Amino acid sequence: MAASRPPCRADLPLHAPLPQGPRQSDLAMLSDLHRRGGDEGASIDDASAPSSSNRRAWGRILGGTTTVAQSGPTEPSSRISMDGVQAGVDLFASDAWSAGVHGGKLRSDARIDGLHGLHSSATHAGNLRADTVYLGSYAAYANLQGQYADFVLQHRRQDLTANATDGTRASGDGHSVTASAETSQCFALGGG
């Protein structure tokens, strides 16, 4: 005889995926040097580094959907969609370095399915919504040998709302700081 699972409230499956939303949002906004500021591949391949004459402003539109399935007593799965914008400006540029600030806004909506109540299979448990604002700084280095490094420090403020199918509602807010370092070396492939 199979072990029975005690019934749980519909809001319980909403708790397990809570860390995934902010994590996915942070990764989308942080991204990497090429996605944040545009594809610098041409300037690195041409061995031209940033200079004070090419400080720049940049922006991008973010969007996407991801699915996260987890194990555990409620077997939650989340389908998260994100939409947002990000913009930045170089405050300093030299022959090898550029540094600046960026900001952005991101909205995430997640549909959560999981085991709850007397259901023997995962059903819709509720929705999570996160409205997030970012402020960050960056510094990037590139040299004539095709090497680069990118450093980012980013602050996040997030308002979160959870609505379970049984009518339970909860909200909260939070702050976080993320730091990132990325390095790379370009190699020429082929003779052309």
pLDDT, position 46:
42
Of the candidate ranges 115-129, 145-159, 161-175, the one whose mean pLDDT is the lowest: 115-129
pLDDT, position 54:
79
Which helix or strand (DSSP H or E) is residue 154 part of? strand 147-164
Closest CA to 84 of 68, 102, 57, 99: 102
Three-class DSSP category at 135: strand
- pTM greater than the 0.85 cutoff: no
Please report where in the chains the tokens 């990037």 appear, as a residue.
140
- Cα gap 77→75, rounded to integer Å: 7
**pLDDT tens, 108-139?**
999 988 887 776 777 888 999 999 999 999 99
Closest CA to 184 of 154, 150, 153: 150
**pLDDT tens, 28-63?**
888 877 777 665 543 443 444 444 467 889 999 999
DSSP per residue, 48-114: ----GGG--EEEEEEEEEEEEE--STT--EEEEEEEEEEEEEEEEE-SSEEEEEEEEEEEEEEEEEE
CB proximity list for 20: less than 8 A, separation 6 or greater: 68, 78, 80, 110
Closest CA to 142 of 71, 49, 11: 49
Two structure tokens written together for 40: 């610098």
Q: Which amino acid is at 90?
A: D
**pLDDT tens, 73-96?**
788 888 989 999 999 999 999 989
pLDDT, position 45:
39
Q: Is the pLDDT of residue 67 over 50?
A: yes
- The DSSP letter of residue 4 is P
pLDDT, position 16:
78
